[in-house]
Amino acid sequence: MATNDEVTRKEQAFSAAARRFPQAELSIRRLMGRSEDFCDLCADLAEAERALANVVETTAALCEERRREWQELIDHLVNEVAEAIGESEGRGPRPTG
C-alpha cells in the first residue's frame, strides 16, 4: 500500500507533466501506471521546477546562474517526458509553457 508521501509525490509528478502536456493527460496517467521510470522522470521535473522557484542566493549573478542551471535541467526533463509520451502515443506532443 502506498504511503501519503508516495501519493503526494506521484500527484506532484503528474501535475508537473500535465502542466507541460495538457493534451496528453490520459497518456501521462497510463505511463505513470506502467512505468516507474516515467514516474521518476516526472517527479524529477516537479522537483526541478520547485527548486527553480525557490532559488535565493546572495548575489544577483549567482542567483541568475542557478536559475539558468535549473531551467536547463527542466528543459531537458520536459524533452524526455515528451519523448516518452510520444512513444506511447505513436507521436510527439508539444509541451506548453
pLDDT at 12: 96
pLDDT of 42-52, one tens digit each?
Answer: 999 999 999 88
d(CA 2, CA 34): 16
Largest CA distance in the chain: 46
| pLDDT tens digit sequence for 29-40 | 999 999 999 999
Q: Where are the beta strands (DSSP E) in 12-69?
A: none
* Predicted TM-score (pTM) of this structure: 0.77
User: What's residue 2's pLDDT?
Assistant: 66
Going from N- to C-terminal start, the domains of the chain cover: 4-89
What average pLDDT is seen over the chain?
A: 89
